[in-house]
Amino acid sequence: MCINCSSQLQSRLIHKTLLQQEAQHFKRSSLKNEVSWNIFVVSLAVADLVVAVYPYPLVLVSIVHNGWNLGFVHCQISGFLMGLSVIGSIFNITGIAINRYCYICHSLKYDKLYSDKNSLCYVLLIWILTVVAIVPNFYVGSLQYDPRVYSCTFAQSASSAYTIAVVFFHFILPIMIVTYCYLRIWILVIQVRRRVKPEFRPKLTPHDIRNFVTMFVVFVLFAVCWAPLNFIGLAVAMNPDRVGPLIPEWFFISSYFMAYFNSCLNAIVYGLLNQNFRREYKKIIISLCTARMFFPESSNDAAERIKSKPSPLMTNNNQVKVDSV
């Protein structure tokens, strides 16, 4: 009897120890997942912000002056940064999709594949590939000013072969990779929800699902915003003489500015679907409103004090009049 009690006690202690170790491992794994995921999200945010720093202000200047009067160098820099943002965005979205796929579908290998050092190396590789993908534009001469969209950008008519290669390697291929990753994730999520694979349930927390849905929406918006412009370029490159004149100018301009607008959508998506971003957005809005409430009042009070304070000249004149009397 005592032997059975002691054996049961030992088995319970061993089981409890194993559960504690598993919980600690899951906590460390979740922390590593957050760090790795944040690295990729920050990289994607940088890609979105690149166009706001230089190319977009120059587009506004071109609209005001109804043409490009900033010279060849600024045109090449603006086109280069525009390409850096676009290709960097799709490459980062692809990297995030692969990261989510490994975390959810191959969780046992995730900690080894996506350590902090490896994640930084992956992001660095993404930006190296982005720069390498843009450099051929300088040799082809495809970075040109387009008066229809008031910006220096990739000219689809510069080289048919190069345009086809750009559309395939910089849009279609990444879209195929991301689609495969997210389809596999959705299948696994549905299986977990229906308890087909209950052994994966501890790995799929609600926070993980929210992060996955957020990045999936970012991917869908990118594909929707950039698909018209890329398919226009692909159609024109295959048969420039026949297809080019058939495309209405309004449709080309609309597709271009819809692609431009994609860089603004990611911040909105983060705010709508991510609680942490919503909290920080509220802090920013409250701080801005508070600043507008207090600083204008202080400036108005200062202006009123200046107006109410008599000038030294008037004071001296009054003193002179009193003395003379």
> What pLDDT shows up at residue 151?
92
**Which residues, other chains included, contact 59 with Cβ-Cβ below 8 Å and sequence gap of 6+?**
149, 150, 151
Phi, psi of 276 (to 5 degrees): -65, -45
Q: Which residues pair with 145 in a beta bridge?
A: 152
Maximum C-alpha span of the chain? 121
Neighbour-count burial of 239, counting CB atoms closer than 10 A to its CB (0-12 exposed, 13-18 middle, 19+ buried)? exposed
Residue 242: band (very low, low, confident or very high) from pLDDT cuts 50, 70, 90: confident
Q: Flag whether the pTM goes above 0.85.
A: no
Q: For residue 99, what are the CA distances in angstroms to 27, 34, 207, 245?
A: 18, 11, 15, 42
User: What is the structure's pLDDT at 276?
Assistant: 72
What is the residue extent of each domain of the chain? 33-291
pLDDT above 90: residue 307: no
As a dihedral over the C-alpha atoms of residue 116, residue 119, residue 124, residue 126, rounded to 10 degrees, the angle is: -170
Question: Rounded mean pLDDT of 38-61?
Answer: 89
In this prediction, residue 136 carries a pLDDT of 92
The answer to whether domain 33-291 has CATH 1.20.1070.10 is yes
Mean per-residue pLDDT over the chain, rounded: 78
Per-residue pLDDT at 41: 86
Through-space distance between the first and last CA atoms of the chain, rounded to whole angstroms: 121
Q: How far apart are CA 287 and CA 23, in angstroms?
A: 39
What pLDDT band is residue 181 in, cutting at 50, 70 and 90? very high
**Angle subtended at Cα 127 by Cα 136 and Cα 272, rounded to the nearest 5 degrees:** 120
